[in-house]
A and B are shown apart, each in its own frame.
Chain A
């Protein structure tokens, strides 16, 4: 087996000579992760706010379930989704198995509880006076919600960052529903698993470095957004 040093030096040369296939894999990775995250935010953020503001029965149970689902094992999600999307499963007519859309669905399912639960935590951390004050000042329900989201935005962004970390590192679920098909559903993490399997450690290490670099970049951007937001607090 090649030494770690060899793998790294060859990996670096691979990174400097990015070929079309590698670029395609990186692009698909980002596409699937970002859309999956977006869907999770669109669904999870309102739910988190709702849970934070409203009082109703069974709320405690719902929150416990959400918190539990934050740790959903990806392979289990992949397995259930596989059984659902399989041609002999209930949603087989959609022909979604082994497509990037199926991978997006898996990512959303994994990211959704994180966004919802962390949004909820952020919202309950907001001073209740904010909500009360805006309603006494005649704000509509939507306006009250927006005011609360504004106050809780740092916590919410942290939740989104955590969810992004989960989807971008995910391999188990997307391997099952995507099938790791070259040129179609092969993303960075599944490519790393495959190349490790094949003994191409240089390529696996190269992909790993790129994956971490991209995560670093995106997190830095989010951090800057958060900081700028802090300055503009009204």
Chain B
């Protein structure tokens, strides 16, 4: 019995070792991106179209923007699709990436409990709203160097508040959707991107509302850039550039614009130049 079992296991091993040889035909590239982009369903919508046209499969690893850029810097991605323009331009300048392009945008909004204990509803300035939250509310931060987190820290800096370590400041260390849920449970405020908010507020039954929006400071630009092939030999630069070029082409831009969530909201607005 024992010997038979061992023999079966051996057969399985042989079968599996032989199998991967077949899988080399299609070209695959790895795209490091962000949880907010991936969770919105955008990739599930646009990638099959791109794959059909070019035969290139794009494998998406979704992280926070900071981690996604780091991944590219280590050469572990072929292309990065993220949203923290300053960090992106810095990484290009340092020689880790090439050919960065604006692709699309959406915007950040400040959400909080419907009864709005800090009384920020309808305020025009996001930073002024942050001041009020610091004084009379609780705030849940992504705390993960993501694009959203970067924007949030920028806003705290503007008003000269150091939130870290404060009793009212909670660092979730989670993706956007989970952070929203933490904020909901804690009856706190948070900064989120409109895409994630629209896609999840009903499903997660959040007792929250958009309280501040429309401040130019809350603009959320997405960019794409290829990992510098001069730096990493194994990088699939040609295919990565095909993806970049498609995203900023008329066809790619139209595809992004036509992506809608379940309720028919457009989540991303193409703005490639």
B251 touches A (CB below 8 Å): no
The 0/1 profile, CB within 8 Å of A marked 1, for residues 63-75 of chain B is 0000000000011
Task: Please judge, given known A-B contacts A88-B75, A199-B177, A228-B1, whether A101 and B20 are in contact too, CB under 8 Å.
Answer: yes
The 0/1 profile, CB within 8 Å of A marked 1, for residues 51-64 of chain B is 00000000111100
Chain B residues near A179 (CB, 8 Å)?
Answer: 30, 59, 61
Chain B residues near A97 (CB, 8 Å)?
Answer: 76
Instruction: Name the interface residues of A59-116: CB closer than 8 Å to any CB of B.
Output: 86-89, 92-93, 95, 97-98, 101
In the assembled complex, how far is the CB of residue A52 from the closest CB belonging to chain B, in whole angstroms? 17
Interface stretch (choices B9-17, B147-155, B262-270): B9-17
Chain B residues near A200 (CB, 8 Å)?
Answer: 203
Q: What band does the interface of chain A fall in when counting residues whose beta carbon is under 8 Å from B?
A: 20 to 34
A138 touches B (CB below 8 Å): no
Instruction: Name the interface residues of B154-200: CB closer than 8 Å to any CB of A.
Output: 174-175, 177-178, 181, 200
In the assembled complex, how far is the CB of residue A80 from the closest CB belonging to chain B, in whole angstroms? 14
User: Which of B1, B12, B75 is in CB contact (< 8 Å) with A34?
Assistant: B12
Instruction: Name the interface residues of A196-210: CB closer than 8 Å to any CB of B.
Output: 196-200
In the assembled complex, how far is the CB of residue B260 from the closest CB belonging to chain A, in whole angstroms? 18
User: Which of A1, A89, A93 is in CB contact (< 8 Å) with B205?
Assistant: A1
Contact B60 A181 (CB under 8 A): yes
Contact A88 B16 (CB under 8 A): no
Q: Which residue of A lies closest to B180 (CB)?
A: A199
Task: Please judge, given known A-B contacts A31-B16, A198-B39, whether A95 and B234 are in contact too, CB under 8 Å.
Answer: yes
Chain A residues near B16 (CB, 8 Å)?
Answer: 31, 35
- Main secondary structure, interface of B, reads mixed
B35 touches A (CB below 8 Å): yes
Chain A residues near B178 (CB, 8 Å)?
Answer: 196-197
Q: Which residue of A lies closest to B179 (CB)?
A: A197
Task: Please judge, given known A-B contacts A38-B12, A197-B177, A197-B178, whether A2 and B205 are in contact too, CB under 8 Å.
Answer: yes
Task: Please judge, given known A-B contacts A179-B61, A199-B181, A199-B203, whether A98 and B30 are in contact too, CB under 8 Å.
Answer: yes
Q: Which residue of A lies closest to B227 (CB)?
A: A87
Contact B76 A87 (CB under 8 A): yes
B105 touches A (CB below 8 Å): no
User: Which of B13, B59, B174 is in CB contact (< 8 Å) with A38?
Assistant: B13
Chain B residues near A223 (CB, 8 Å)?
Answer: none
Report how far A225 CA is from B20 CA in the complex, Å: 31
Instruction: Name the interface residues of A19-66: CB closer than 8 Å to any CB of B.
Output: 31, 34-35, 38, 41-42
Chain B residues near A182 (CB, 8 Å)?
Answer: 44, 60
User: Which of A41, A180, A199, A228 is in CB contact (< 8 Å) with B204?
Assistant: A199
B21 touches A (CB below 8 Å): no
Interface residues of B, Cβ cutoff 8 Å to A: 1-2, 5, 9, 12-13, 16, 20, 30, 35, 39, 44, 59-62, 74-76, 174-175, 177-178, 181, 200, 203-205, 232, 234-235
Instruction: List 10 interface pairs A-B (beta carbons < 8 Å), by A numbering.
Output: A1-B204, A2-B205, A31-B16, A38-B9, A38-B13, A87-B76, A88-B74, A93-B234, A200-B203, A225-B2
In addition to A87-B75, A87-B76, 16 A-B residue pairs with Cβ atoms within 8 Å of each other are A1-B204, A1-B205, A34-B12, A88-B75, A92-B75, A98-B30, A98-B59, A153-B2, A180-B61, A181-B30, A182-B44, A197-B39, A197-B174, A197-B175, A200-B203, A225-B2
